[in-house]
Structure 1
Amino acid sequence: MTMAQTHTDCNPLNRTDCPSMEALGGNVTFNFNDTIDNAIWMQQNAGEMGQDDEDGAYFTILKSGQSPMVQSKFYMFFGRVSIIMQAANGTGIISSAILQSEDLDEIDWEFKGGKSNFVYSNYYGKGDNTTNDRGEDHQLDFAPQNGYHNYTIDWQKNQTRWYVDDKQVRELKFADAMGGKRYPQTPMNIRLGIWSGGDKSGNNQGTVDWAGGETDFSKAPFTMNVRQVYAHDYTSAKEYSWEGMDGSGDWEKVKVVAGTSDTLKDAESPHGIKDRYNALSKTAKIAIACSVLGFVVLCALGALFYFIRQRRAGRREFLAHQAAEQRENAELLEYKQQTGITGKPGYNRI
């Protein structure tokens, strides 16, 4: 269903002025335990989102009406997406990882918080929801809410496959989707988020029933976590254009603009000190290591020189002090001899 994440800003089947879409045009791994790059991902909707070093990005529902999500600014024209994630618990709570186009082609992974040991797959062509025979439940030997697993969609021109931890659980042939007319086939972006299908204030009873029942928000928070996303665009391009598209939404009418996308350039450029260091050549890393080692050696030599110099200065001061004492003792002895003082206790006879 993914109702909270499904929308389009400009449907090219109904309009002729829809803007071009930036392509990914390559393959990138996004680690969500780092700060989400706002140049690549857009955060949307009410709710709480953030990052954790161990659990990655978190999407949290605190109350009714919330559905936090992120969606990529880049699009893929057929490709592979793998998401390492942990679904949220909670009756009626839906964790989702989907691909969707602006003309409402869609491929889904969905997780019902009140139904453990299952994951739900679905697809849509051109937003057509007149039938309810596209979705399938897949029984698992684990609970998606209790650990991190890899959920993959491999979307090709002639078929789409869904994998859980590299094990195929479903295949959709092009011809099986109304002879291809309802097969997802236009450029799609990635949308990750959580919503409450069991929220009666915003959903009809059919959706509430599908989600597993009404959500009890007194049991909030409900949290979904994503550690990593791997995205591979099977088309090499700078952008995808709707120029020349008609009402069919046929993939062959999508215009591919050659070049390297800004998204791919940004994704491949290092961010932060650690990434910048890792991006250096081996020679550069050796040069930096030698420079650091040289600096440490110089500091050590400087400290040793200072210690030796201070020690010598201390010895000179000791010898000078000793010489001064000897002079004072000699002067005292001479004085006693001149005055007749023997230095013994008592008095001298007269």
Structure 2
Amino acid sequence: MAILCKAMILLPILQLAISLTAAYGGNFNQDFDVTWGDGRAKIMNYGQLLTLSLDKASGSGFQSKNEYLFGKIDMQLKLVPGNSAGTVTAYYLKSAGSNWDEIDFEFLGNLSGDPYILHTNIFTQGKGDREQQFYLWFDPTRNFHTYSILWNPQHIIFSVDGRPIRVFKNAEAIGVPFLNKQPMRIYSSLWNADDWATRGGLIKTDWTKAPFTAAYRNFNANACVWSSGSSSCTSGSSSSSSNAWLTQELDVTNHRMLRWVRKNYMIYNYCTDLKRFPQGLPAECKF
């Protein structure tokens, strides 16, 4: 009888734990709108899974219903497998207007057996040209992996499976605009870019392999929602403990992981490209 009672007590606790685990990922039906693709973007599994597809006629894309001004954004992606040369899977934050801000993850497709290139960029007030590129230390087409953006007033941190790969610091003190005034939506798209995406456009998209498909799950935004000109983080509705990411810095362990990625997997860094910037590297590269 005692064992039975314990089981009856533990069952609701286990059910609660399962429900909390499932609730980690946001619901795509509630959080996003499909914006283009004529049916090529599909939300499935009661909003827990989203797929984008690309064929010769069109790609597809979606965007968040909410705008954010600072946040910790996580998304799990599984990229186009096989010969994905010419395709680009983009996952990014972007503000509206001609002087927009933007934070980019772009995954450049490959020939079968060649690694994807993870292309990152930062735009401030419509100016980009801040590319850093990486190979990944795993096959991003076999399983889902988590790609994260931590965006707070001090810096922007790109991470893959919790491992930081890039940091863009607030350098307003030396005249570099920072992304702290314009709310941004989350966007993603799968599209054809065979004029530049794979080996500078030398390798074209093989349409006999279409449709190309990328999958998304476990979206999570611990973020300041922007609505009617104000932020949820200043409305008094959010606790300070839930917003610890607003002041989060890299600790010693994360600095070590960042150095490991840069040493072993970075393949391009605009901050070391003296041929591109013969008059001097951009100011933030010295910060």
TM tier, smaller: 0.5 to 0.7
Structure 1 gap ranges (5+) = 1-27, 199-204, 243-253, 261-350
Aligned length: 206
Residue 55 of structure 2 is aligned to residue 59 of structure 1: no
Higher Rg of the two aligned structures: 1
TM-score by length of 2: 0.62
Structure 2: how far apart are the matches of 1:176 and 1:213?
40
CA contact (8 A) 1:93 1:215 kept: yes
Q: 2:36 aligns with which of 30, 40, 45?
A: 45
The answer to whether 1:146 aligns with 2:142 is yes
Q: For residue 43 of structure 1, what is the amino acid of its counterpart?
A: V
CA distance in 2, matches of 1:91, 1:177: 41
2:281 maps to none
- Give the residue type in structure 2 aligned to 1:77: L
Displacement after TM superposition at 1:256 (Å): 8.8
- CA drift at 1:213: 3.2
Q: Distance in 1 between matches of 2:173 and 2:121?
A: 12
The letter of the residue matching 2:32 is W
Contact 2:51 2:215 in 1 (8 A): yes
Q: Deviations over 1:314-347 (max 9, x none)?
A: xxxxxxxxxxxxxxxxxxxxxxxxxxxxxxxxxx
CA distance in 1, matches of 2:174, 2:59: 32
2:92 partner amino acid? I
Partner of 1:278: none
- Within-5 A mapping of 1:79-228: 79-89=71-81, 90-103=84-97, 104-114=100-110, 116-129=115-128, 132=129, 134-175=130-171, 179-181=175-177, 183-185=178-180, 186-198=182-194, 205-206=195-196, 210=200, 213-228=203-218
Q: Any unmatched runs of 5+ in structure 2? A: 1-22, 238-287
Cα offsets for 1:191-248 (capped at 9, x unmatched): 12211111xxxxxx45676467321222201001001111111x3x661529xxxxxx
TM-align CA RMSD:
3.2
The one-character-per-residue Cα deviations of 1:238-271 (angstroms, maximum 9, x if unpaired) are 61529xxxxxxxxxxx9998487xxxxxxxxxxx
Distance 1:151 1:118, change over 3 A: same
Tell me: CA distance 1:168–1:213, structure 2 relative to 1, closer, same or farther (3 Å). same
- 8 Å contact 1:93–1:195 — kept in the other structure? yes
Q: Partners of 2:201 and 2:24 in 1: how far apart? A: 31
In the alignment, residue 225 of structure 1 is paired with which amino acid? A
In the aligned structure 2, how far is the partner of 1:152 from the partner of 1:31? 14
1:285-296 equivalent positions in 2, closer than 5 A: none
Identity %: 23
After superposition, what is the alpha-carbon deviation per residue over 1:70-125, rounded to whole angstroms, capped at 9, x for unaligned?
10120111111011111124111111111111132100111112152532211111
CA distance in 2: counterparts of 1:211 and 1:227, whole angstroms: 30
Q: CA 1:60 to 1:238, structure 2 compared with 1: closer, same or farther past 3 Å?
A: closer
Structure 1 residues 111, 187: closer, same or farther in 2, change over 3 A?
Answer: same
Q: Which has the higher strand share?
A: 2
Task: Say whether the 8 Å CA contact 1:102–1:188 is kept in structure 2.
Answer: yes
Distance 1:178 1:92 in 2: 39
SS at match of 2:191: strand
Alpha-carbon distance in 2 for matches of 1:241, 1:212:
46
Per-residue deviation at 1:159? 0.6
* DSSP 3-state at the match of 1:145: coil
Whichever residue aligns with residue 230 of structure 1, its letter is: N
Q: Which moved more, 1:220-229 or 1:40-49?
A: 40-49
Secondary structure of 1:218's partner?
helix
Maintained 8 Å contact 1:105/1:124: yes
Provide the residue aligned with 2:219 in structure 1: 229
- TM normalised by structure 1 equals 0.52
One-letter identity of the residue aligned with 2:179: P
Measured after TM superposition, the shift of residue 189 of structure 1 is 0.9
